[in-house]
Amino acid sequence: MIRHFLATALFAGLLAGLAVTGLQRATTTPLIAQAEVFEAAGAQLAVAPAAAHAHATHDHGAAAAHEHSHSHGEDGGWAPADGAERLLFTTLANLIAGVGFAFILVACFALWNGPVNGRTGVMWGLAGFAVFTLAPSLGLPPELPATNAGDLMARQTWWIATAAATAAGLWLLVFPRKTWAAAAGIVALALPHIVGAPHPAEFSTLVPAELSAQFAAASIVTAAVFWACLGWLAGTFYARKPLTSNVDGKLPHTA
């Protein structure tokens, strides 16, 4: 049975990861490329006045210091090159995420111990979408490069707390079927948004608002397709129970 669980998660996660990679190539990837053009243009505009001022005052020491600080500001660490290398690492990240989320779904199937098939798998997948994408996006929508964001640690903490509260809230609403549980579930769903997500003091971005809105919508829809696909695949594979052997080692007879 454990081998069946592992195989279900691996196959479902890998297939869903490949599918979402192809979808991203047609939806979010072109938007990211456009945002990077605006980001590069904004960086050039920010550098030009400072360089001109340093040249006009002949302050070679200040100019050298500026060049040194600018070089470190642009060096945000290694990043894959455009083209095949970026596609390769994006695909790898999607495959890892797909398998990881598939393991979560399969674990939920096993704990639930109810009838599982492709249809119920989609329902579980959409619940995963609500937990890991929809609810966090209400406070922290997907953002393009060149967008000012809040403190990273605070954002990550809020995201994890929101996902956990949403999962607990959905469970309380669906499974106990008690009035107190439903009330507690509603509170759990609403609490992270009452507290509020961490945001910078002032919002700023180098990309047009229309592009940012299109990217946020495309990212959320793409995630919904991914989770529905993952849920269907995981449910379908999970429903195909492997044949088990009898004590004497012979396969059971089927009518």
Distance, C-alpha 1 to centroid of its chain:
30
Range of the domain at 91: 2-39+84-147+205-239
User: Is 188 within 8 Å of 174 (Cβ atoms)?
Assistant: no
Provide, rounded to the nearest whole percent, the portion of the chain with pLDDT above 90. Answer: 62
Mean pLDDT confidence for 126-143: 96
Q: What integer pLDDT is reported at residue 138 of this predicted model? A: 95
Mean pLDDT confidence for 161-167: 98
For 192, phi and psi rounded to 5 degrees? -60, -30
Residue 135 lies in a domain: yes
Q: What integer pLDDT is reported at residue 252 of this predicted model? A: 41
Residue 12 lies in a domain: yes
Rounded Cα–Cα distance for residues 55 and 190 (Å): 56
DSSP per-residue letters across 129-196: HIIIIIHHHHHS----TTB----HHHHHHHHHHHHHHHHHHHHHHHSS--HHHHHHHHHHHHHHHHH-
> pLDDT, tens digit, for every residue of 188-232?
999 999 999 998 888 778 888 899 999 999 999 999 999 999 999
Residue 176 lies in a domain: no
User: Is 128 within 8 Å of 235 (Cβ atoms)?
Assistant: no
> pLDDT, tens digit, for every residue of 17-45?
999 999 999 999 999 999 888 878 766 66
Residue 31 lies in a domain: yes
Provide, rounded to the nearest whole percent, the portion of the chain with pLDDT above 70. Answer: 80
Residue 101 lies in a domain: yes
DSSP per-residue letters across 180-191: HHHHHHHHHHHH
Residue 172 lies in a domain: no
Amino acid at 84: A
User: Is 128 within 8 Å of 105 (Cβ atoms)?
Assistant: yes
Q: What integer pLDDT is reported at residue 82 of this predicted model? A: 76
Decide if pLDDT at 86 tops 50. Answer: yes
Cα–Cα–Cα angle for 226, 228, 234, rounded to 5 degrees: 95
Residue 62 lies in a domain: no
User: Is 120 within 8 Å of 235 (Cβ atoms)?
Assistant: yes
Radius of gyration, CA atoms only, the chain? 24
Q: What integer pLDDT is reported at residue 78 of this predicted model? A: 64
Q: What integer pLDDT is reported at residue 228 of this predicted model? A: 98
Q: What integer pLDDT is reported at residue 150 of this predicted model? A: 79
Residue 159 lies in a domain: no
Closest listed residue to residue 91, CA positions, set 35, 203, 16: 16
Mean pLDDT confidence for 71-93: 72
Specify the number of domains making up the chain: 1
> pLDDT, tens digit, for every residue of 54-78?
444 444 443 333 434 443 434 445 6
